[in-house]
């Protein structure tokens, strides 16, 4: 990996799947490889969990209620630097194309190969860093400029910048 030897423990994952046994197994496998893993068993729970900052999300495509495509769309709208990998037992060319159009980084079939998933996770994380780094640099320059001016104007501008992050 580029960008200062990123280790898995730095990667914060959100894993969403309605099959609880599968969700727990995948979560344990990822935790044993030092990823920070948060799980959700449905779309609504995932949206609540996503108030925290995650680097990558792994979403099941077929779930009751809110499916993975709908969740993908919502997460991408609200978390512009979140990379999302779809993991499904119901793979099709049509759903792969649609998920890609909605912003999915990857699309893998169940049963999954753990080493392939690990490679896609690392690639997704690296892509996130590459997208976020220029943004963070620009923001730091703006904050530095603000810090040398009027303190109240700086606070208002910082609040505006924070609002733009959402």
DSSP letter for each residue of 79-136: -TT-EEEEEESS--HHHHHHHHHTT-SEEEESSPPHHHHHHHHHHHHHHHHHHHHHHH
d(CA 60, CA 2): 29
62 SS3 class: coil
Whole-model pTM: value is: 0.79
Domain 8-132 sits in CATH at: 3.40.50.2300
Q: How do the domains of the chain map onto residue ranges?
A: 8-132
pLDDT digits (tens, 9 = 90+) for 57-103: 999 999 999 999 999 999 999 998 999 999 999 999 999 999 999 99
pLDDT digits (tens, 9 = 90+) for 134-155: 666 666 666 666 667 667 766 7
Per-residue tokens: 85:
């990998």
54 SS3 class: coil
d(CA 24, CA 37): 10
How many helices and strands, by DSSP H and E, does the chain display? 6, 5
């Amino acid at each position: 990996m580029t960008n200062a030897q990123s280790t898995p423990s730095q990667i914060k994952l959100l894993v969403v799947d309605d099959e609880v046994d599968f969700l727990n197994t995948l979560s344990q496998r990822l935790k044993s490889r030092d990823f920070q893993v948060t799980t959700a068993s449905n779309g609504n729970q995932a949206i609540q969990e996503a108030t925290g900052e995650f680097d990558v999300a792994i979403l099941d495509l077929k779930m009751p209620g809110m499916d993975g495509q709908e969740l993908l769309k919502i997460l991408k709208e609200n978390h512009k630097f979140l990379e999302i990998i779809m993991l499904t037992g119901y793979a099709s060319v049509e759903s792969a194309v649609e998920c890609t159009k909605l912003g999915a980084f990857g699309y893998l079939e169940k049963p999954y190969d753990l080493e392939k998933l690990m490679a896609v996770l690392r690639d997704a994380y690296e892509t996130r860093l590459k997208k976020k780094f220029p943004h963070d640099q620009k923001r730091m320059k703006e904050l530095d400029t603000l810090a040398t001016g009027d303190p109240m104007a700086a606070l208002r501008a910082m609040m505006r910048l924070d609002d733009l992050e959402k």
